[in-house]
Amino acid sequence: MKKILILIGTLFLISCNKQENGINIENLNFTIQSRYGTHYITGYEIPFKATDSHGNDITSSVKFYINGTKIPGSTYLFDRVGYYMITAQWNLGGGTIKESQNRIEALVTNPRNETFVLLEDFTGTWCVNCPRVHYKIDQLLHQHDHVYAIAIHDRGHQTDPFHFEKVSELTQTYQISGYPTALINRKDVWNEENSSVEQYLQRTQALGLKIENTFNNNTLNISVKVRFDMDLKNEHYKLVVYALENNLHADQANSTDYYGGQDPIPGMEHNHVLRHAFTQVLGDEIPASQCHFDNEFTWHFSGDLPSNIADPAHVEIIAFVVEGNDRPRVINSKKTKINSSADY
């Protein structure tokens, strides 16, 4: 009798084909999401995610569709403006296919913001190899007006008249252990080839910056605006604003063949030298509520020009947005001279 009951139960499960590990697959549902909301830009890869009703990530088990056409994988790069419908299907086996409970209705527009790349040179007047990178950066800047440079001086155990007092916070965060070291957008170590920087220039960015500043009677007023072309509320963004100074002169140690092989290089001109951080060195938080499509986030500063500035006429204001927690990377940047402005 017991064997008959077991057989009947087994046949019931097979014929029903609605049970899987005790779960009724008829009641299994899922939703789809995009970390970039519902507003995207052309040329920017958009990832999609699927989550079941218990909060489990099932993205790899789901097929995504753009306007009814299946796409490979779970990311898509839109190359045309317009309205798009994103849906998904989950094949549960046994002929059961689930449609996502929701759809994403997305608007795709062209980016409005130009791309700028930041090259930061960790250097020192005592560093005998630093003139090599100094020279190469100078040549690169003459070729590309969308590349900005910052020279971050560290005196280490030596002397350096341009030492940045908060340099250790940067060197520890980005694990700078040798000089010279140059970072591209605080992400990759520069290999001193122009092509590696040019690859960054080709990337589309989802936000842009605008700077306005005035300087009167030693009072500096700065206004920085960040404009968003996509919904970025699920990211972690900070704004960084620095004062740089050009036309500074000091002897530079040199063991390279650059600059005629002189050692030291007498009265070498140092430009784009980091002198002051108006924000925290690693940036001030941009509230998540501000990081959405077509919004402008505004940051202000008003106060005296930093006392270590030698000549206000040679000051530059640079602002950039970083994303991430442990090693924030630069998304986009903008620079202008003192008493000037730079639009988006």
Among residues 113, 318, 294, the alpha carbon closest in space to that of 213 is found at 318
- Average pLDDT estimate for 212-229: 96
The reported pLDDT for the residue numbered 194 is: 97
Percent of the chain with pLDDT over 70: 92
The number of beta carbons lying within 10 Å of the beta carbon of residue 267 is 10
Say yes or no to pLDDT of 206 above 90.
yes
pLDDT-derived band of residue 44, with 50, 70 and 90 as boundaries? very high
Look at residue 3 in the predicted model and tell me its pLDDT: 43
What local confidence, expressed as pLDDT, does residue 303 receive? 97
Higher-confidence position of 26 and 52: 52
pLDDT at 58 exceeding the cut of 90: yes
Specify whether the CB–CB gap between 222 and 301 falls below 8 A: yes
Q: b/e for 277-302, b at 16 or more Cβ within 10 A?
A: bbbebbbeebeeebbebebebebeee
pLDDT of residue 26: 63
* pLDDT at position 165 over 50: yes
CATH of region 20-109 = 2.60.40.1080
Categorize the per-residue pLDDT at 11 as very low, low, confident or very high, splitting at 50, 70 and 90: very low
Taking only the tens place, the pLDDT of each residue in 126-152 is 999 999 999 999 999 999 999 999 999
Structure tokens at 8: 């009947």
Query: What architecture is the 117-342 domain classified under in CATH?
Result: Sandwich (2.60)
Query: Tens digits of per-residue pLDDT, 288-316?
Result: 999 999 999 999 999 999 999 999 999 99
- Whether pLDDT at 16 is above 50: no
The tokens for 298 are 């505004």
User: Is pTM beyond 0.75 here?
Assistant: yes
Quick check: 62 pLDDT over 70? Answer: yes
Of the chain, the percentage scoring pLDDT greater than 90 comes to 89
Domain ranges of the chain: 20-109, 117-342
- Tell me what pLDDT residue 94 has: 85
d(CA 160, CA 250): 9
20-109 and 117-342 agree in CATH topology? yes
Peptide bond into 180 cis (omega under 30): yes
What does the pLDDT average to over 8-33? 57
Which pLDDT belongs to residue 329? 98
